């Protein structure tokens, strides 16, 4: 049975639709919720793979969230050992930072349903070949990552050029949320920290519109997510190259 480490930041951001796929593939999942255990220091070497979830903080808030530095070291250790690694939203930004790329404020916040289009390289990627051209994907982010040196740029949106990348053949960063279902989106729209963020945007993003659009887009997005995540899980079947990363 494979052992998978999941780094979590807030209670409402979970594996979502990825969870049953991992369990069906006989993965034993250990969550580390830094919101509840900020002093946790998991040993990534004990696990066969790593998933880093999203959260409302940003990569530069290390003084307030010291665990972010430890997470970056966990990511670097997992990459060095050739483990499959998946980062979602904040998780993708932490992978980019671990690989030496910048994480900066995006020109606009993307919250809701947005077009995401694979790049030419993405069209040939094992995960992104399942995109049927441009797809409507759920987003909730204000920051964006640079594409790390040596990584492959996989997808973009009109308002955020860097939506996904692959490093090697086993490390993926996804700015968007393919793991959500309709109940998760409902919880996110009503989570206090997210409500405060939406209120601060002074009507520029309408949560009622997001809720109204969700029934139309969630079915195709979930079907796409199942195909994309199945390909990621398939990475556990192979031995991946160890990588010597430069010191930070």
Residues annotated catalytic, as ranges:
89, 177, 179
Q: What is the torsional sign of CA 85, 65, 144, 136?
A: positive
Nearest Cα neighbor of 52 from 20, 83, 81, 23 is 83
Do 58 and 150 meet the contact criterion of CB atoms below 8 Å apart? Answer: no
End-to-end CA distance of the chain: 33
Bridge partner list, 103: 145
Angle at 29 between CA 28 and CA 31, to 5 degrees: 155
């Amino acid at each position: 049975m494979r052992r998978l480490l999941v780094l979590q930041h807030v209670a409402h951001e979970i594996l979502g639709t990825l969870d049953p796929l991992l369990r069906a593939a006989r993965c034993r999942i250990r969550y580390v919720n830094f919101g509840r255990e900020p002093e946790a220091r998991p040993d990534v070497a004990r696990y066969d793979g790593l998933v880093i979830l999203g959260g409302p903080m940003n990569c530069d808030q290390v003084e307030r969230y010291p665990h972010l530095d430890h997470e970056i070291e966990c990511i670097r250790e997992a990459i060095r050992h050739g483990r499959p690694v998946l980062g979602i939203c904040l998780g993708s930004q932490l992978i980019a930072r671990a690989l030496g790329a910048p994480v900066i404020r995006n020109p606009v916040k993307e919250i809701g349903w947005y077009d995401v289009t694979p790049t030419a390289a993405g069209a040939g990627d094992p995960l992104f070949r399942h995109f049927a051209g441009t797809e409507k994907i759920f987003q909730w982010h204000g920051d964006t990552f640079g594409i790390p040196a040596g990584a492959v740029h996989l997808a973009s949106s009109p308002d955020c050029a860097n939506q996904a990348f692959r490093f090697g053949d086993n490390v993926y960063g996804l700015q968007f949320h393919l793991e959500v279902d309709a109940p998760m989106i409902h919880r996110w729209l009503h989570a206090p920290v997210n409500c405060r963020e939406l209120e601060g945007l002074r009507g520029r993003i309408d949560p009622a519109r997001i809720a109204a659009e969700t029934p139309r887009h969630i079915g195709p997005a979930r079907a796409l997510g199942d195909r994309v995540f199945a390909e990621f899980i398939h990475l556990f079947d192979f031995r991946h190259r160890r990588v010597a990363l430069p010191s930070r």
